[in-house]
Amino acid sequence: MRGVVSAGMTAAIEQLGLTDTFDEVHGASAGAFNAAFLLAGQAAYLATLYQYGFGDPRFVSIVRALRGGPAFDMDHVINHVWTRQRPLRFDAILSRGIDLHCTATDADRATIVDLAELTSEEEIRCALRASGRLPWLAGGPVSFRGMRLLDATLAEAIPVQLPRSSATDMLVLQTRPHGVAHTPLSPLVARLTDRYLRAINPALVQLRLTRSPRYDALTAELAAQAADPGHAPATCVIRPPSGCVVISQLEHRAAVLQTAGAEGLRSAWMALEGEDPELIGTLRAYPRSGAGATADDANGTGRARPAPRTPNAVRPEIRSEP
């Protein structure tokens, strides 16, 4: 659930009215979820849903895992919760005019792949499922476009390989605070994961073994590029400051996730706006129907236009946002 940090960061981008300054948005694993909700105009909404299992506490179940099912059921979240209970505005993503790129690991080639040119709700849902398909914990590989796909972070945790080859400016959102290195899996989880990966493709085990040093090397490289005013593409890296809460993959405590999301929002706001904001809890209604979905005003304040009232209006969900 570490993605709650970058979800808070995308909420800041949304509230500052900066979403439409991007030509492309790239996301890996939970970062792909955050990217999709940002383009839908629902970044702040997703930042609050992290505290509730992406909108359904049944998302995580150890009992289900012991019975042979996935511990993390993202299929249920993406195909049911985000389409019926708490709808992601797929139509807004498709009409936004900003390209959504979801990265994933090709299980057969043991390499990163870019899932782009997503032209329908079904393709977006498949790309999101593939990008976040954690090995062993979330079920078998996702089949999409003739490939078997697993979680993007197995091959590349920070999806910069493609954009830095063509972009003029690049904003990178990282979830670990300054000074915090990538933490390898515990010995038990590593053994179980490697057994799972070996049965699919032995080359995936090597990706898993080298993931932490590759992540730390890329983090150092991005930091150096951000410090170089002459580097192309111009690079800005946003990370929470040292001392912020460190979120584990299995974190589920609502208060901790709320704190992490708020720290992500504050970090991005300070980096982009140059001031330390005051964070307060405000109530905001989110219509559950696509027809009644709200859009941010042109001035970027984050205030929503009221949906038209109809005799059969769907009751909105009320959330308190930081």
Question: What pLDDT shows up at residue 295?
Answer: 39
pLDDT tens, per residue, the chain with 322 residues? 889 999 999 999 999 999 999 999 999 999 999 999 999 999 999 999 888 877 666 777 777 777 777 878 888 889 988 998 889 999 999 999 999 999 999 999 999 999 999 999 999 999 999 999 998 888 899 999 999 999 999 999 899 999 998 899 999 999 999 999 999 988 988 998 999 999 999 999 999 999 999 999 999 999 999 999 999 999 999 999 999 989 887 777 888 999 999 999 999 999 999 999 888 776 677 766 653 344 343 333 333 333 333 334 445 554 555 5
- 92 φ, ψ (degrees, to nearest 5): -70, -35
Question: What pLDDT shows up at residue 289?
Answer: 64
> Would you call 301 helix, strand, or coil by DSSP?
coil
What is the per-residue pLDDT across 267-302, written as a single tens digit (0 to 9) for each? Answer: 999 999 999 988 877 667 776 665 334 434 333 333
Question: What pLDDT shows up at residue 318?
Answer: 46
Alpha helices in the chain (DSSP H): 3-15, 30-39, 43-49, 62-66, 74-76, 90-95, 121-131, 187-200, 203-209, 211-227, 254-273
Residues of 93-110 as b/e, b for ≥16 C-beta within 10 angstroms? bbebeeebbbbbbbbeeb
CA 19 → CA 43, 48, 82, 97, 284, distances in Å? 10, 19, 21, 11, 20
CA 37/CA 266 separation, integer angstroms: 19
Percent of the chain at pLDDT > 90 equals: 63
CA 19/CA 22 separation, integer angstroms: 6
Question: What pLDDT shows up at residue 126?
Answer: 97
Q: Tokens 């809890």 — which residue?
A: 281
Q: What is the pTM for the complete model shown?
A: 0.87
